[in-house]
Amino acid sequence: MIQLNTHQEVLFHLGSLVLQMDHSGALYLPEHKTLIVADLHFEKATTLNEKRGSSFPPYDTRDTLNRLHNVIRRRQPDRMICLGDTWHDSDGPSRMQAEDREAFRNLITNCKTHFIIGNHDGDLSEVDGVSFYSQIDIEGIMLRHEPVEDEALFQICGHLHPVAKVKQKGRLIRRRCFYLSKRQCVLPAMGSLTGGLNCLDSAYERFMSHEDRHVVILGRDRLYQLSMRSLIAD
Protein backbone atom coordinates (compact mmCIF):
# COMPACT_ATOMS: atom_id res chain seq x y z
CA MET A 1 0.00 0.00 0.00
CA ILE A 2 1.28 3.51 -0.85
CA GLN A 3 0.43 6.58 1.18
CA LEU A 4 1.19 10.22 0.29
CA ASN A 5 1.12 12.46 3.34
CA THR A 6 0.81 16.24 3.54
CA HIS A 7 4.60 16.66 3.56
CA GLN A 8 4.85 14.97 0.14
CA GLU A 9 6.58 11.98 1.68
CA VAL A 10 5.65 8.70 0.03
CA LEU A 11 5.43 5.72 2.36
CA PHE A 12 4.96 2.12 1.29
CA HIS A 13 5.31 -1.44 2.54
CA LEU A 14 7.40 -4.13 0.91
CA GLY A 15 6.87 -7.33 2.84
CA SER A 16 7.39 -6.35 6.47
CA LEU A 17 9.53 -3.32 5.64
CA VAL A 18 8.26 0.23 5.83
CA LEU A 19 10.02 2.48 3.33
CA GLN A 20 9.97 6.19 2.56
CA MET A 21 10.72 7.52 -0.91
CA ASP A 22 12.79 10.67 -1.10
CA HIS A 23 12.62 13.13 -4.01
CA SER A 24 16.39 12.65 -4.48
CA GLY A 25 15.71 9.08 -5.66
CA ALA A 26 16.82 7.47 -2.39
CA LEU A 27 14.83 5.12 -0.18
CA TYR A 28 14.84 5.45 3.59
CA LEU A 29 14.04 2.67 6.06
CA PRO A 30 13.05 4.54 9.23
CA GLU A 31 12.93 1.47 11.47
CA HIS A 32 16.49 0.57 10.44
CA LYS A 33 17.76 4.16 10.03
CA THR A 34 19.11 3.01 6.66
CA LEU A 35 19.38 4.97 3.41
CA ILE A 36 19.42 3.12 0.08
CA VAL A 37 20.75 4.71 -3.12
CA ALA A 38 21.44 3.29 -6.57
CA ASP A 39 23.60 3.92 -9.63
CA LEU A 40 25.71 6.90 -8.65
CA HIS A 41 28.01 6.31 -11.64
CA PHE A 42 30.79 8.52 -10.32
CA GLU A 43 33.23 9.68 -13.02
CA LYS A 44 31.01 8.79 -15.96
CA ALA A 45 31.97 12.00 -17.75
CA THR A 46 35.69 11.28 -17.53
CA THR A 47 35.06 7.72 -18.74
CA LEU A 48 33.20 8.97 -21.81
CA ASN A 49 35.82 11.62 -22.46
CA GLU A 50 38.69 9.10 -22.33
CA LYS A 51 37.09 6.20 -24.15
CA ARG A 52 34.85 7.94 -26.67
CA GLY A 53 36.37 11.36 -27.10
CA SER A 54 33.22 13.01 -25.73
CA SER A 55 33.35 16.51 -24.32
CA PHE A 56 31.15 16.30 -21.23
CA PRO A 57 32.26 18.74 -18.50
CA PRO A 58 33.71 16.66 -15.65
CA TYR A 59 31.33 17.90 -12.97
CA ASP A 60 28.91 14.98 -12.73
CA THR A 61 30.68 13.47 -9.72
CA ARG A 62 30.51 16.76 -7.81
CA ASP A 63 26.81 17.19 -8.60
CA THR A 64 26.03 13.60 -7.56
CA LEU A 65 27.99 14.02 -4.33
CA ASN A 66 25.96 17.14 -3.56
CA ARG A 67 22.72 15.20 -4.07
CA LEU A 68 23.99 12.45 -1.79
CA HIS A 69 25.15 14.92 0.85
CA ASN A 70 21.76 16.66 0.85
CA VAL A 71 19.70 13.52 1.35
CA ILE A 72 22.04 12.28 4.10
CA ARG A 73 21.71 15.64 5.84
CA ARG A 74 17.90 15.47 5.62
CA ARG A 75 17.51 11.86 6.69
CA GLN A 76 20.41 11.48 9.14
CA PRO A 77 20.82 7.71 8.56
CA ASP A 78 23.06 5.47 10.65
CA ARG A 79 23.75 3.30 7.59
CA MET A 80 23.78 3.68 3.81
CA ILE A 81 23.57 0.91 1.20
CA CYS A 82 24.72 1.64 -2.35
CA LEU A 83 23.04 -0.74 -4.80
CA GLY A 84 25.88 -0.98 -7.30
CA ASP A 85 27.43 1.03 -10.12
CA THR A 86 28.81 3.45 -7.58
CA TRP A 87 31.55 4.19 -10.10
CA HIS A 88 31.14 4.06 -13.86
CA ASP A 89 34.23 1.86 -14.22
CA SER A 90 36.95 0.35 -12.07
CA ASP A 91 39.35 3.24 -12.76
CA GLY A 92 36.81 5.77 -11.53
CA PRO A 93 38.20 6.10 -7.99
CA SER A 94 41.65 7.06 -9.31
CA ARG A 95 40.17 9.71 -11.62
CA MET A 96 38.17 11.47 -8.91
CA GLN A 97 39.42 14.95 -8.13
CA ALA A 98 41.04 15.17 -4.71
CA GLU A 99 38.26 17.38 -3.34
CA ASP A 100 35.59 14.92 -4.53
CA ARG A 101 37.50 11.96 -3.14
CA GLU A 102 37.76 13.64 0.25
CA ALA A 103 34.05 14.57 0.23
CA PHE A 104 33.09 11.00 -0.60
CA ARG A 105 35.41 9.61 2.07
CA ASN A 106 33.83 11.93 4.65
CA LEU A 107 30.33 10.78 3.68
CA ILE A 108 31.06 7.07 4.03
CA THR A 109 33.10 7.61 7.20
CA ASN A 110 30.33 9.50 8.96
CA CYS A 111 27.65 7.06 7.77
CA LYS A 112 28.46 3.34 7.83
CA THR A 113 28.25 2.34 4.17
CA HIS A 114 27.81 -1.02 2.46
CA PHE A 115 28.50 -1.38 -1.25
CA ILE A 116 26.83 -3.90 -3.52
CA ILE A 117 28.84 -4.68 -6.65
CA GLY A 118 27.35 -3.53 -9.94
CA ASN A 119 28.09 -4.45 -13.52
CA HIS A 120 29.95 -1.16 -14.10
CA ASP A 121 32.02 -1.26 -10.93
CA GLY A 122 34.40 -3.94 -12.18
CA ASP A 123 37.19 -4.96 -9.79
CA LEU A 124 37.23 -2.36 -7.04
CA SER A 125 38.73 -4.63 -4.40
CA GLU A 126 41.69 -2.28 -4.01
CA VAL A 127 39.63 0.76 -3.05
CA ASP A 128 40.70 1.63 0.47
CA GLY A 129 38.10 0.96 3.14
CA VAL A 130 35.39 -0.27 0.75
CA SER A 131 33.94 -3.79 0.97
CA PHE A 132 31.54 -5.13 -1.66
CA TYR A 133 28.66 -7.59 -1.39
CA SER A 134 26.69 -9.45 -4.04
CA GLN A 135 23.48 -8.77 -2.11
CA ILE A 136 22.23 -7.76 1.33
CA ASP A 137 19.06 -9.11 2.95
CA ILE A 138 16.86 -7.10 5.31
CA GLU A 139 13.80 -8.80 6.82
CA GLY A 140 13.58 -11.24 3.93
CA ILE A 141 13.92 -8.53 1.25
CA MET A 142 16.86 -8.92 -1.15
CA LEU A 143 18.84 -5.79 -1.95
CA ARG A 144 20.75 -6.28 -5.21
CA HIS A 145 22.11 -4.38 -8.17
CA GLU A 146 20.53 -6.43 -10.95
CA PRO A 147 17.16 -8.02 -10.15
CA VAL A 148 16.66 -11.77 -9.97
CA GLU A 149 14.26 -12.79 -12.73
CA ASP A 150 11.56 -14.15 -10.43
CA GLU A 151 8.43 -12.09 -9.81
CA ALA A 152 7.62 -14.05 -6.63
CA LEU A 153 10.71 -12.69 -4.84
CA PHE A 154 10.75 -9.60 -2.66
CA GLN A 155 13.59 -7.42 -3.85
CA ILE A 156 14.90 -3.88 -4.07
CA CYS A 157 17.27 -3.19 -6.95
CA GLY A 158 18.79 -0.60 -9.25
CA HIS A 159 20.55 -1.19 -12.60
CA LEU A 160 17.63 -0.37 -14.92
CA HIS A 161 17.42 3.39 -14.23
CA PRO A 162 13.61 3.53 -14.51
CA VAL A 163 11.99 6.56 -16.13
CA ALA A 164 8.35 7.42 -16.82
CA LYS A 165 7.08 9.28 -19.85
CA VAL A 166 3.78 11.18 -19.65
CA LYS A 167 1.95 13.94 -21.48
CA GLN A 168 1.08 17.03 -19.46
CA LYS A 169 -0.52 20.18 -20.84
CA GLY A 170 0.36 19.10 -24.35
CA ARG A 171 4.04 18.46 -23.55
CA LEU A 172 5.84 15.14 -23.28
CA ILE A 173 7.74 14.78 -20.02
CA ARG A 174 10.25 12.02 -19.30
CA ARG A 175 11.48 11.83 -15.71
CA ARG A 176 13.30 9.50 -13.37
CA CYS A 177 11.03 7.50 -11.13
CA PHE A 178 10.59 4.75 -8.59
CA TYR A 179 8.92 1.72 -10.14
CA LEU A 180 7.31 -0.67 -7.71
CA SER A 181 4.89 -3.51 -7.34
CA LYS A 182 3.68 -5.57 -4.41
CA ARG A 183 7.03 -7.41 -4.23
CA GLN A 184 9.60 -5.30 -6.05
CA CYS A 185 10.99 -1.78 -6.02
CA VAL A 186 13.37 -0.45 -8.66
CA LEU A 187 15.22 2.72 -7.66
CA PRO A 188 15.99 5.54 -10.08
CA ALA A 189 19.62 6.26 -10.82
CA MET A 190 20.97 9.03 -8.61
CA GLY A 191 23.96 9.79 -10.84
CA SER A 192 23.58 13.12 -12.62
CA LEU A 193 24.75 11.82 -16.01
CA THR A 194 22.71 8.64 -16.26
CA GLY A 195 20.11 7.71 -18.85
CA GLY A 196 16.96 5.70 -18.17
CA LEU A 197 14.81 2.79 -19.29
CA ASN A 198 11.10 3.45 -19.81
CA CYS A 199 8.91 1.62 -17.28
CA LEU A 200 6.88 0.14 -20.14
CA ASP A 201 9.94 -1.64 -21.54
CA SER A 202 9.64 -5.43 -21.72
CA ALA A 203 12.78 -5.86 -19.60
CA TYR A 204 10.71 -5.25 -16.46
CA GLU A 205 8.38 -8.14 -17.32
CA ARG A 206 11.15 -10.60 -16.45
CA PHE A 207 10.85 -9.94 -12.73
CA MET A 208 8.14 -7.39 -11.85
CA SER A 209 4.94 -8.66 -10.31
CA HIS A 210 1.79 -7.29 -11.96
CA GLU A 211 0.16 -6.80 -8.56
CA ASP A 212 -0.27 -3.18 -7.54
CA ARG A 213 2.23 -1.62 -9.95
CA HIS A 214 2.88 2.07 -9.39
CA VAL A 215 5.21 4.76 -10.63
CA VAL A 216 6.37 7.67 -8.49
CA ILE A 217 8.12 10.42 -10.44
CA LEU A 218 10.87 12.62 -9.01
CA GLY A 219 10.09 16.32 -8.97
CA ARG A 220 12.41 19.13 -8.00
CA ASP A 221 11.40 19.00 -4.34
CA ARG A 222 8.48 16.56 -4.21
CA LEU A 223 7.15 13.29 -5.61
CA TYR A 224 4.25 12.61 -7.96
CA GLN A 225 2.32 9.33 -8.15
CA LEU A 226 1.10 8.10 -11.52
CA SER A 227 -1.06 5.19 -12.59
CA MET A 228 0.31 2.80 -15.17
CA ARG A 229 -2.50 3.85 -17.51
CA SER A 230 -1.05 7.35 -17.81
CA LEU A 231 2.38 6.20 -19.04
CA ILE A 232 3.59 6.49 -22.62
CA ALA A 233 6.10 4.17 -24.26
CA ASP A 234 9.26 5.57 -25.90
Counting the structural domains of the chain, the total is 1
Edge-first strand order for the sheet with 10-14 is 2-4, 10-14, 17-21, 27-29, 34-37, 79-82, 112-116, 132-133
CA 115/CA 171 separation, integer angstroms: 39
Cα gap 51→12, rounded to integer Å: 41
Rounded Cα–Cα distance for residues 135 and 49 (Å): 31
Find the angle CA(132)-CA(133)-CA(137) to the nearest 5 degrees.
145
The average confidence (pLDDT) of the chain is: 89
- Global pTM reads 0.92
Q: Are 78 and 30 in contact (CB under 8 A)?
A: no
- pLDDT per residue as tens digits for the range 40-84: 999 998 877 766 656 666 789 999 999 999 999 999 999 999 999
Residues 152-211 have pLDDT tens digits of 999 999 999 999 999 988 899 999 999 999 999 999 999 998 989 999 999 999 999 999
Name, in order, each residue with C-beta under 8 angstroms of 176's C-beta and a sequence gap of 6 or more: 25, 161, 162, 163, 188, 189, 196, 217, 218
Q: Which domain holds residue 9?
A: 2-230
pLDDT at 74: 93
CA dist., res. 118 & res. 88, Å (int): 9
Q: What is the CATH number of the domain that holds 82?
A: 3.60.21
